[in-house]
Amino acid sequence: MGVTSGSRSEQGLAHADGRQDSHERLRKLRKLLRLVRTPRFRRALRLHVAAAVEHEDVPFQQDFASIIDVGAHHGQFALFACNRFPRAQLFCFEPLPDAQRIIRRVFPQPGPIELFKVALGSDTTAAQAMHVSRLDDSSSLLPITDRYTTAFPGTEEDTGISVPVTRLDDVLAEPAPARPCLLKIDVQGYELEVLRGGTRVLQGVDEVFVECSFVELYTGQALAGELIAHLWSEGFRLAGVFGIKRDIAGQCLQADVLFQRSVKEHATDP
- 267 within a domain of the structure (yes/no): no
**Do residues 213 and 250 share a domain?**
yes
Contacts of 153 (CB under 8 A, 6+ apart): none
Residue 23: the pLDDT is 67
- 27 lies in which domain range? 1-35
- Confidence label for 259 from pLDDT (cuts 50, 70 and 90): very high
pLDDT exceeds 90 at position 204? yes
Q: What is the DSSP letter of 95?
A: -
**Do residues 126 and 2 share a domain?**
no
pLDDT exceeds 70 at position 56? yes
- 266 within a domain of the structure (yes/no): no
Residue 113 · residue 125 · CB < 8 Å: no
**Do residues 16 and 148 share a domain?**
no
pLDDT digits (tens, 9 = 90+) for 206-242: 999 999 999 999 999 999 999 999 999 999 999 999 9
Residue 54 · residue 169 · CB < 8 Å: no
Residue 4: the pLDDT is 34
Contacts of 66 (CB under 8 A, 6+ apart): 88, 89, 90, 91, 177, 178, 179, 180, 181, 182
Residue 20: the pLDDT is 60
pLDDT digits (tens, 9 = 90+) for 90-107: 999 999 999 999 999 999
Residue 192 · residue 123 · CB < 8 Å: no
pLDDT exceeds 90 at position 109? no
**Do residues 26 and 96 share a domain?**
no
The per-residue pLDDT of the chain, averaged, comes to: 89
Residue 259 · residue 237 · CB < 8 Å: yes
- 105 within a domain of the structure (yes/no): yes
pLDDT exceeds 80 at position 14? no
Classify residue 114 as exposed, middle or buried by CB count within 10 Å of its CB (0-12, 13-18, 19+). middle
Pairing of strands 89-93, 113-116: parallel
Q: Which amino acid is at 143?
A: P
Is the link from the previous residue into 143 a cis peptide, with omega within 30 of 0? no
Residue 18: the pLDDT is 58
Q: How far apart are CA 137 and CA 99, in angstroms?
A: 9
**Do residues 31 and 62 share a domain?**
no
- 41 within a domain of the structure (yes/no): no
- 270 within a domain of the structure (yes/no): no
More confident residue, 266 or 157: 157
Q: Which amino acid is at 77?
A: F
**Do residues 26 and 109 share a domain?**
no
Q: How far apart are CA 46 and CA 40, in angstroms?
A: 10
Q: Which amino acid is at 181?
A: C
- 182 within a domain of the structure (yes/no): yes
Residue 228 · residue 238 · CB < 8 Å: yes
**Do residues 104 and 7 share a domain?**
no
pLDDT digits (tens, 9 = 90+) for 73-88: 999 999 999 999 999 9
- 44 within a domain of the structure (yes/no): no
**Do residues 221 and 144 share a domain?**
yes
Residue 7: the pLDDT is 36
Number of domains in the chain: 2
**Do residues 8 and 70 share a domain?**
no
Residue 193: the pLDDT is 98
pLDDT exceeds 60 at position 13? no
Residue 111: the pLDDT is 82
**Do residues 120 and 250 share a domain?**
yes
**Do residues 86 and 24 share a domain?**
no
* 14-23, 109-118, 142-151: range with lowest mean pLDDT: 14-23
Residue 203: the pLDDT is 96
Q: How far apart are CA 241 and CA 123, in angstroms?
A: 29
- 239 within a domain of the structure (yes/no): yes
For residue 74, give the nearest of 30, 24, 153, 139 by alpha carbon: 139
Q: How far apart are CA 83 and CA 43, in angstroms?
A: 13
Q: What is the CATH number of the domain that holds 53?
A: 3.40.50.150
**Do residues 102 and 7 share a domain?**
no
